[in-house]
Copies of this chain bind each other. A is one copy, B any other.
Amino acid sequence: MFGNVPLPAKRLSDYRRIVGEERLEEIRALARPLRGARVLHLNSTAFGGGVAELLSALVPLLNTLGLRAEWQVIRGDQDLFAVTKSMHNGLQGMPVTWTNEMKETWLRFSRLNAALFDQEYDFVYVHDQQPLGLLAVLAEEHGKRGRWVWRCHVDLSTARSELWEFMRPYVEQYDGVVFTLPEFAKNGLKGPQVFAIPPGIDPLSPKNVALTNGTVTEVLARYGIDAGRPLLLQVSRFDPWKDPLGVIDAYRSVKEEEPSVQLVLIAPMAHDDPEGWSYLERTARKAGEDYDIHLLSNVNGVGDREVNAFQRAASVVIQKSVREGFGLVIAEALWKERPVVAANVGGIPLQVLDGKTGFLVNSIDEAAERTLRLLRQPELGRRLGEAGREHVRGNFLVTRYLRDHLQLMRAIAGVEAEPARHRGPSDIAAS
């Protein structure tokens, strides 16, 4: 239909030395009755962002377990993505206009994509607001087939009600709805089972896999960073939610005490996102001609491997978000045993246990103070980093994420107990 996103194969056994055999056995057992099930993940982009990263790991792992999983990307154009960006902002609580014309654009693409939907699946996962409307169109035209799950990656707790009331009837047609955290859910949904599944990182992806010191040094040198001086890092879009301007303020406070400090801000830049470019300009203007502040992006050739290297090189990793979904970038930093100073919002406090796996902060001054403390007490940073890695190993790796999804599929397909029942895929498809 839309064309599969091609993905390299993965082997579950490669994760043994990271999580242990027991975890893998649990996963295999959960997968057994789902073997052969046809699973589709549908989202709006194959590149960039946490969703694409999660699917790059999850989909190959489902296949390695005997399911027949695919990842496809819906069709859209500038008009659609302008509308769904407004929806994204509105779901996060920003005042947005929500006109009939915008609804019509969104519905038009729901119909267009529904017309391209020409296969059958046992499970269809629909990610976020872009493809949400497909199910309604398909159900009306052909009746609903298979189990449908809406995976919402944003925090709906402050969603604008006019927008949410528009979306609600579409959501309520699903069998399951997955939020990142229970607090992100909308209460009172009639119909779907509601799940909370936090995401996880893939320790074997290019973004997280171990790198040699030589690689790290080479990447720093390529971007003119001095490996002999302390380095602060934030990896996040240039937008108000991620507050790069606040990070620069915190860095300036720190620099008064530690003049040798450097700051790297890394953001993905999308060509079709004028707001992102305009916020990059604003960030550059705030940075002024202090070239100890480095603004980097894919435009400068920064990819997963480079982000990995910068995270490993950072003296302190900062995440000064004003609002955050989960903030998977925190788990990436903790996995690399980095001391983290992060805002106390969204899913961050699940990852950063204050004083144990990093520091939670509520202001620029606090961010600067904790950062300075970590620069001056490397032993403290080391301790937090080590605890952070273990916390991630226990809770925020893709293997745990995989397990939760297998449990979810069993729950909505009615495969309750354990391998005892041995229901095959045809049972699921037919039931």
Contact = CB atoms under 8 A, between A and B. Distances in A.
A188 B25 CA distance: 79
A165 interface: no
Interface residues of A, number: 16
Interface string A262-276: 000000000100100
Tell me what chain A mostly uses at the interface: helix, strand, loop, or mixed: helix
Contact of A288 (B277, B278, B288): B288
Nearest to A271: B271
A281 B280 CA distance: 8
A144 interface: no
How many copies are assembled? 2
A244 to B, nearest CB: 13
A82 interface: no
A295 to B, nearest CB: 6
Interface of A: 271, 274, 277-278, 280-281, 284-289, 295, 299-301
Contact of A289 (B278, B285, B300): B285
A299 B274 contact: yes
A412 to B, nearest CB: 42
A300 B300 CA distance: 21
B289 A277 contact: no
B286 A286 contact: no
Nearest to A290: B285
Contacts of A287: 285
Nearest to A291: B285
Contacts of A286: 289
Contacts of A300: 274, 278
Contacts of A274: 299-301
Contact of A284 (B271, B281, B299, B301): B281
Contacts of A301: 274
A79 to B, nearest CB: 15
Please indicate which of the listed interface residues A274, A287, A295, A299 has the most CB atoms of chain B within 10 Å of its own CB: A299
A289 B289 CA distance: 11
Which 9 A-B residue pairs are closest in the complex by CB-CB distance? Answer: A284-B284, A288-B288, A271-B271, A281-B284, A277-B299, A284-B285, A285-B289, A274-B299, A285-B288
A286 B289 CA distance: 6
Contact of A295 (B281, B288, B289, B299): B281
Contacts of A288: 285, 288-289
A301 B280 CA distance: 16
Contacts of A280: 281
A86 to B, nearest CB: 17
A121 B281 CA distance: 47
Nearest to A293: B285
A69 B283 CA distance: 47
Contacts of A289: 285-286, 288
Q: Which of A274, A281, A286, A295 has the largest number of chain B CB atoms within 10 A?
A: A281
Nearest to A301: B274
A127 to B, nearest CB: 26
